[in-house]
Amino acid sequence: MKELSFFFDFSSPFAYLASTQVEAVAARAGATVRYRPFLLGALFKALGGPDVPLFAMPPTKQRHARDDMFRWADFHGVPLKFPSRFPINTVKSLRMILQLDEASRAPLLHALFHAAWVDDRDLNDDAVLIDIAASVGLDGAALVAGTKNDAVKAQLKAATDEAVKLGLFGAPTFMVGDLLFWGQDRLAFVEKALHGWRPRGE
């Protein structure tokens, strides 16, 4: 079975946009999506860059990046609202996802992305997180309690270390075999790769 690894953090609007498309891309290629959360801020820190690259951009580039995310939302036909809190603290929400088997992560993942990037809900608020989990039939209280579990904390740390080791530098990132693609604007490349494309190298 072909696999498409989808590396994401709920903190990224472009990861949200990717989340609205990635299953259709995989389905058209008969591939399975592997949902791989990691902590984007920790990756940035490991790479020595700014904590929030958006804020480090020149004002004109920052403006364009914001226009760009809304253009993509329009292009895909999906809703998007820039949240009133940004950057978003996503540690708890990522730890919730990690407590689920990869094969059962999708519903909670979509509910969390939607809460953050459409409904402007606070992913750092336990009551909100419990409610979101309940909305997809999960035991939110147990999952939120689990975010304080040392093994779960270590799991997020390990997932982020793995992202660094694999050569990630942003989110979303996709891997098809050993090909790494950064950005939801490369989903057309991802899809070609799932269909067997091996792009010419340097």
Binding residues vs a second copy (CB under 8 A): 47-49, 57-58, 60-61, 63-64, 66-68, 70-71, 73-75, 82, 167-170, 180, 182, 185-186, 189, 192, 199-202
The Cα 151–Cα 145 span in angstroms is: 12
Residue 172: cis peptide before it, omega within 30 degrees of 0 = yes
Minimum distance, C-beta of residue 199 to a second copy, in the bound complex (Å): 4
Residue 101 vs 202, nearer CB to a second copy: 202
Minimum distance, C-beta of residue 90 to a second copy, in the bound complex (Å): 21
The Cα 36–Cα 24 span in angstroms is: 17
CA dihedral 188, 87, 123, 166 (to 10 degrees): 50
Nearest to 162 by CA among 25, 28, 37, 17: 37
Residue 53 vs 107, nearer CB to a second copy: 53
Minimum distance, C-beta of residue 201 to a second copy, in the bound complex (Å): 6
CA angle 51, 75, 110 (to 5 degrees): 60
Residue 67 vs 139, nearer CB to a second copy: 67
Residue 15 vs 109, nearer CB to a second copy: 15
